[in-house]
Chains A and B, each alone.
Chain A
């Protein structure tokens, strides 16, 4: 079999970080290929976590806010306008041990002089057997998709961060009552979201509590809640369960090849996006568990593009003449 052509840059992942890296590398004539992932109903999909959100109110430049999916569709169209190529598939294997780097989708092998990793993070589930069994029958990973089916019903939302409060507030459009179950006595969500949630008459709070089981035969009928202080358990009758308890980075693909911290987040060098492998860069939530905002992800995507570009320039290996920076950006 003949060797596949070598691209200057392959970008794995297509949230704000990956697509910003695509815009910048495309404008620098690096002809990027974005392997954007496959459709799913979780945050692990082309466009990333914003695809499941509604209104994004804090992305600068949009005075009245913008819908998450619309923002990501704009990012993608902007990258495509400058010539980025897209593959709507998931990478199944990588080999960063020698250059050019190798990236596989099943048995299709692709080669690249540099790789930008922007695979993001996905929402955690409770990891209970009955949660998996009742997925789609009352347990949902997508409040914007499924809220509609809970009109006039009672729902539980688990979590205490901004995502949990956003879901709880959104779900009050449909549900009679939303019970927010949080393992601590206070929320870690931002002040503005807390104020909105506390003001919402349909939201009730269960503090110091965790969900230990999901109840129901064919559809969800309730959750078993344990108070972590007293140890007491009781059943809360709900028809729906939405979980927003945090995230885990999508780095399984890079185990043994890229340095990670104890939680699986990729480690980058100082203020750069460089990983431990020269020529492989990481940006967005896959290397950031602190800020985790669309704007910080986009910012680090831009940094990864510039880091990749400078690195390619320094090796003199780039196939294309790299556009001068940053003047014409």
Chain B
């Protein structure tokens, strides 16, 4: 289902973000969050259509509080785009595919 989407955890986060050779868009989400569920298929489509250009990764805030705290995530969904291991762009709240693609344009 989520072939082009990877999963990050507190332990794997640093290694995977620093080791990535394309920008990584991290989706901070949780099971109970309705808007997070709503953007899941949108992210899946973006991942599939932009394979090789951008990596999309999910981080469950419920299970991975350390990374969520490090980036002061206080609202989900929050999407943070990392390039060369550094956060470049932060999007708070659910958005439609059209709007998300516009925000991500510079990195695709």
A contact set with B: CB distance below 8 Å: 38-42, 45-46, 51-52, 68-69, 88-90, 135-138, 140-142, 144-146, 148-149, 218-219, 240
Contact = CB atoms under 8 A, between A and B. Distances in A.
B75 A51 contact: no
A51 B32 CA distance: 12
A174 to B, nearest CB: 11
Contacts of B95: 38-40
Interface stretch (B1-9, B12-20, B35-43, B46-54): B35-43
B74 A38 contact: no
B33 A140 contact: no
B66 interface: no
Contact of A136 (B33, B38, B74): B74
A219 B74 CA distance: 9
A137 B92 CA distance: 9
Contacts of A90: 96
B105 to A, nearest CB: 16
Interface residues of B, number: 27
Contact of A137 (B36, B61, B74, B96): B74
Classify the secondary structure of A's interface with B: loop
A40 B34 CA distance: 10
Contacts of A142: 33-35, 75
Contacts of B98: 38, 89
A39 B42 contact: yes
A38 B96 contact: yes
Contact of A40 (B36, B37, B94): B94
Interface string B75-100: 11110000000000000111111110
Contact of A144 (B34, B93, B94): B34
Contacts of A141: 93
Contacts of A68: 34
Contacts of A145: 32-36, 75-77
Contacts of B42: 39
A36 B94 CA distance: 15
A51 B34 CA distance: 7
